[in-house]
Amino acid sequence: MKAQAKRQNTGAQNRGFTLIELLVVIAIIAILASLLLPALARAKQKAYGVQCMGNTRQIMLAWRMYADDNQDVLPANDYPYQTKAPRDGTVQNWVFGSMAVPLDAINTDILVNRNLTELALYLTHPAVYKCPADIGVVQSTGKSTARSVSMNCAVGTRWWSGGLGGGPPDGPPGGPVGGGWLSGFWANTDPNYRTYGKSTQIIRPSPSDLWVIMDENPNTINDPSMAISMDPTKLVDFPAQYHAGGAGISFADGHSEVHRWRDDFAQIIPPGTITGQGKTYPAVPPSQDQAWIEPRTSALK
C-alpha cells in the first residue's frame, strides 16, 4: 500500500499543465503584451526624437563653426536639384547631392567629402543627416536613403547660382541665396522677403525663431534646400512626419525641437509625387501649419 501511494504522489507531482491552464497563461501574456507594446513603441519614438534632435544640433554646431571660420559667411544652399553635379570640387554646398538623383540619394560618401560638402570639415559621420525614424529606401536601388534633412531656402549663400560649377550667375558667389519660392513663385532673388547670407543678418525673425534645418517629407525632398512659400494658399516642399506626426527642426540660435504638425501632409500630396519641377500644391484645406512655418522662415524686407 505504501509503494502504491508513493507512485500516486509522484504521478501527481509530475502532472503537466492542462489545456485550460495553458490558455489562461497565454491570455495573460497577451494582455500584458497589449499593455506593454504601445508603451515600448512610444519609448522608441521618443528615443528617435532625442537622437534626431542630437543630429540636428550637431549640424547647427558645424553650421556655426563654418561661419566663424569664414568671416560670418554661411555655407552654400543652392544646389541644382535634379542634376548630378561634377565631383571635381567646382560645385560645393552645405551638403552635397540631390535626392532626385538615385545614386546621390543613397551615397553617404559625398556627405563627408570635404571637396563637396562644406560642413564635412566639422561633421565626419554621415548618419547625422539621416533621421533615425526615416526608414525610406530608393525604389530603383532598394537601398536606404542617405539624407532626411534640408535647409531653409531663405538661409545660406550662393555657389551654383553664383556662377560657380556651371550654374547661371544670378548673384555674386557668397552672397545671400535668392529665396526661391518665398513669394509663391520662383525668383532668382525674391523681391519681397529677406534672405540670410550671414548670421549677423538674422534679425527678423530672431535667431531663436528662424528655423534652419528640418526633416523634409520624402515625397518632396530633392536638393538640400527646402522651399517654403509665404503665400498661405501654396505649399511647395513639405515637412516630414517621422515623430508621431512631427518633424525635427533646428533654429539659428542652435536649439532643436520636434514640432508636431496638425495637417496630414500625406493626404495633401500623393505618395510618390516629387516636387521640384515648378510644381506647387495648394493647401487643401488651407494648411493649419502654414501659419506656424511662415513667420519662422523669413520676414518682409
Q: What span, in angstroms and rounded, lies between the C-alpha atoms of 285 and 115?
A: 44
Contact (Cβ atoms closer than 8 angstroms) between residue 45 and residue 39? no
| Cis omega (within 30 of 0) for bond into 239 | no
The torsion angle over the Cα atoms of residues 37, 38, 44 and 46, rounded to 10 degrees, is -160
Query: Which pLDDT does position 275 carry in this prediction?
Result: 45
pTM for this predicted structure: 0.83
Q: Of the candidates 144, 172, 183, which has an alpha carbon nearest to the alpha carbon of residue 78? A: 172
Low-confidence ranges of the chain (pLDDT < 70): 1-17, 33-46, 265-286
For residue range 147-192, what is the model confidence (pLDDT) as tens digits?
Answer: 999 999 999 999 999 999 877 889 999 999 999 899 988 899 999 9
The C-alpha R_g of the chain, in whole angstroms, comes to 26
For residue range 89-107, what is the model confidence (pLDDT) as tens digits?
Answer: 999 999 999 998 999 999 9
C-alpha cell read off for 5: 501511494
Q: What is the tally of structural domains in the chain?
A: 1
Residue 12 lies in a domain: no
Q: What span, in angstroms and rounded, lies between the C-alpha atoms of 235 and 121?
A: 34
Residue 51 lies in a domain: yes
Q: Give residue 280's Cα distance to chain centre.
A: 20
C-alpha cell read off for 91: 560645385
C-alpha cell read off for 189: 532673388
Q: How many CB atoms lie within 10 A of CB 258?
A: 21
Residue 85 lies in a domain: yes
| Three-state secondary structure string covering the chain | CHHHHHHHHHHHHCCCCCHHHHHHHHHHHHHHHHHHHHHHHHHHHHHHHHHHHHHHHHHHHHHHHHHHHCCCECCECCCCCCCCCCCCCCCCECCCCCCCCHHHHCCCHHHHCCCCEHHHHCCCCHHHHCCCCCCCEECCCCEECCCCEEEECCECECCCCECHHHCCECCCCCCECCCECCCCCCECCCCCECCECEHHHCCCCCCCCCEEEEEECCCCCCCCEECCCCCCCEECCCECCCECCEEEEEECCCCEEEEECCCCHHHHCCCCCCCCCCCCEECCCCCCCHHHHHHHCCCEC
Residue 11 lies in a domain: no
Print the domain residue range for 288: 18-296
Residue 35 lies in a domain: yes
Query: Which pLDDT does position 219 carry in this prediction?
Result: 84
Query: Which pLDDT does position 195 carry in this prediction?
Result: 98
Query: Which pLDDT does position 272 carry in this prediction?
Result: 47
Q: What span, in angstroms and rounded, lies between the C-alpha atoms of 150 and 47?
A: 21
Residue 13 lies in a domain: no
Query: Which pLDDT does position 8 carry in this prediction?
Result: 52
Q: What phi and psi, each to the nearest 5 degrees, are found at residue 111?
A: -75, -20
Q: What span, in angstroms and rounded, lies between the C-alpha atoms of 296 and 155?
A: 12
Residue 171 lies in a domain: yes
Residue 7 lies in a domain: no
